[in-house]
Structure 1
Amino acid sequence: MSAPTFTAALTFGELEASYPLYGKALRILIRDGLTRAKASRTEAWSRLERLHHSLPRQ
């Protein structure tokens, strides 16, 4: 099985719609013992970060 690749940029609407999924993924990773430093290098983290910079007050 090959690892998924992320070649196409997601639209803002797609990022926002997947917000709960990214949060859940990070919670699972942290629950399984992933450190914050390693979690910050995940795709879920980077997508949540993009949302935060786009909507900092929400």
Structure 2
Amino acid sequence: QTVVFCLVDIYIMLGKAFVPYLEGLSSTQLRLVTIYANRISQARSGAPIDANQ
């Protein structure tokens, strides 16, 4: 759980630049990181992260 939150924090800070480093994760793990990142980002700023931009 701690690792997931660390990845989420890095993902929030770096955005799409961090996505290549997440390629080793399974699709389920990647989905978990992106869901948490979007929830935390929305709670902080009201805007979700879009990794596709």
Which structure features the higher share of helix residues?
2
TM class by smaller structure: 0.3 to 0.5
Give the number of the structure whose alpha-carbon radius of gyration is greater.
Answer: 1
Q: Given the two structures, how large is their TM-score scaled by the length of structure 2?
A: 0.39
Q: Which has the higher contact order (CA 8 A, sep 6+)?
A: 2
